[in-house]
Amino acid sequence: MQAKRNGDISFWYADLGAVPVPRPPLPGDIEADVARLAGQVKPAAPPTTENAHGEAVSTAPFTSQRDEFVAAMAARVDAMKQALDKVKANGPKQTEVEDVRARINKLGDDVDRLKSASPDDWWDVTKARVTEYVDRIDRSVNRLDDRG
């Protein structure tokens, strides 16, 4: 290998034998690229898709996970409401059915709040809290349904 002389443009160019011919500029507005890279222009919003109900679902990481969880919990709440509607009760059992119905409605409200929860306020209605609550109400509905 031949020794290279320091001070030229680069050792790589020296290996090529000369400075390469410059490429043509990239298409588009260079000022817009610089503004975007400097953080002066916000990037476009992430694309959205539709869920099984035809509602827009973001593909951004947090919102995608949130929307998937909310859809699953909403389906469980709907199933519990339908199961409870089939329970026939009188007297004390009717009181318990109405109590469970009120808890299901509250749970539905919590799930609705999650639809628009940001990462900063997610803790207020957490996944663990809602899941535990859904499981508890689900057990109550099943217990009432088994007695019928």
Taking residue 139's Cβ as centre, other Cβ atoms within 10 Å add up to: 10
β-bridge partners, 50: 56
Q: Are 70 and 114 in contact (CB under 8 A)?
A: yes
pLDDT of residue 58: 64
Confidence at residue 75, expressed as pLDDT on a 0 to 100 scale:
92
pLDDT of residue 7: 57
Return d(Cα 85, Cα 26) in angstroms, integer.
64
C-alpha 73/C-alpha 129 separation (Å) is 12
Give 89-113 pLDDT, tens digit per residue: 888 888 888 888 888 888 888 888 8
Tokens of residue 25, six digits: 């500029």
**pTM (two decimals):** 0.47
3-state secondary structure (DSSP) of residue 48: strand
- pLDDT per 10-residue tile (average), the chain, 148 residues: 59 73 75 68 64 70 83 90 86 85 86 83 72 83 71
Single-letter amino acid code for the residue at 145 = D
3-state helix, strand, coil in the chain (%, to 5): 60, 5, 35
